[in-house]
Amino acid sequence: MKIAIASEGKDKKAKVDTRAGRAPYYLIFDETKNLSETISNPFSIGSGGAGFSVAKMLADKTVNLVIAGEFGGKMVDAMKERGLESHEFTGSVEEALDNFIK
């Protein structure tokens, strides 16, 4: 299982970003909480629907679960089409991992 977390920073101590499509980073972890990849979100700045593009980017990385503070409806739909789950969470990246991996 791969978990992508929208993050304000590049490590586990960073806060989960409230903007799923516009988060500056996505941190990808495996089911043992090991950080496997840090992605600088190329869609964090600009106009238009970032959520659709982020959903495709994460699906291409074979992510199963995406965690962010909030998701737009179009992003949720785009993730569902690609078989990705979404969960909203407020707190640090580390707390999100602890909450979703038991």
Please tell me the predicted confidence (pLDDT) of residue 102.
74
Please tell me the predicted confidence (pLDDT) of residue 28.
98
Range of the domain at 7: 2-100
Query: Tell me, what CATH number does 69's domain have?
Result: 3.30.420.130
Domain count of the fold of the chain: 1
Is pTM beyond 0.85 here? yes
Per-residue pLDDT of the chain (102 residues; tens, 9 = 90+): 999 999 999 999 999 999 999 999 999 999 999 999 999 999 999 777 789 999 999 999 999 999 999 999 999 999 999 999 999 999 999 999 999 987
Please tell me the predicted confidence (pLDDT) of residue 57.
97
Q: In what order do the strands lie in the sheet with 25-30?
A: 35-40, 25-30, 2-7, 65-68, 85-88
Please tell me the predicted confidence (pLDDT) of residue 9.
97
